Homo-oligomer: A and B are copies of this chain.
Amino acid sequence: MSNMPTTMTTTTKAATMNESKISARKVQVFYGDKHAIKDVEIEIPPRSVTAFIGPSGCGKSTFLRCLNRMNDTIANCRVEGHISIDGENIYDPKVDPVQLRAKVGMVFQKPNPFPKSIYENVAYGPRIHGLARKKSDMDDIVASALQKAGLWNEVKDRLDAPGTGLSGGQQQRLCIARAVAVSPEVILMDEPCSALDPIATAKVEELIHELRANYTIVIVTHSMQQAARVSQRTAMFHLGELVEENDTDKMFTNPDDQRTQDYIMGRFG
């Protein structure tokens, strides 16, 4: 926690309020022959929550993974187009994807804790980024991250237990805690509440709300209610295309696109 202010001061300069934090132009993604993302253009404003919605398999996760170049790790995945964060093209060969990912954190759709202790799961990020100088600093970071993710009470007595021995929802929250612990500027969350009960969900939403003040958040969700509750802007994907992107209020009351309307009304499929 102690060095949080430093980070903040440095980030302010990057994004002026009227600029968008992330902007994507003509993004195409292919898995081998499969054209998974088609010509997506989007601007994501800083210090706000943007929700991606759309039917299963429409490309939300794929697009999300483009934003911190996690697609690099998929062998047959090819990304075209232009994505920039703070005005810098992240697909520039000179960009260090590591630095990018330190800046753009991610919570995956399938919880994937390390086969290590709960503590180590959360402490790993801060450790490699040198966020804690002392053991006690690290303890603080871990505790606060777990608290934010609403997991602290459940695991505080067994921080040494393996992260893989947690329940599904607990693992999901552990992964959220792990991502939050390194305090990235942008957090990408792929259905962070899918395995969570309403209370835990509320807790995570509260966290998102809190983070919004300083961070840019992109969240994939299947719950319209959740999108409506937490996001300022919403983007709707369908069959790899970005159908509509709009203020959340507008989107859920008076969408521009027929398909959005249909989806929200549950008339798809």
Contact = CB atoms under 8 A, between A and B. Distances in A.
B202 A222 contact: no
B170 A56 contact: yes
Interface string A244-269: 00000000000000000001001011
Contacts of A197: 53-56, 222, 263, 268
Contact of A56 (B34, B59, B110, B200): B200
Given A191-B195, A195-B191, A269-B150, A200 B167 contact: no
Interface in A178-195: 190-191, 194-195
Nearest to A199: B269
Integer count of this chain's copies in the complex: 2
A76 to B, nearest CB: 9
Interface string A66-106: 00000000000000000000000000000000000000000
Contacts of A34: 158
A61 B168 contact: yes
A31 B162 CA distance: 12
B111 A110 contact: yes
Contacts of A59: 167
Contact of A200 (B191, B224, B269): B269
Contacts of A199: 55, 263, 266, 268-269
A126 to B, nearest CB: 24
Contacts of A111: 110
Interface of A: 31, 34, 53-57, 59, 61-62, 109-111, 150, 154, 158, 165-170, 173, 190-191, 194-203, 222, 224, 263, 266, 268-269
17 contacts: A34-B158, A56-B170, A56-B196, A56-B200, A57-B154, A57-B166, A57-B170, A168-B191, A169-B222, A194-B194, A196-B222, A197-B222, A197-B263, A198-B263, A198-B266, A199-B266, A202-B269
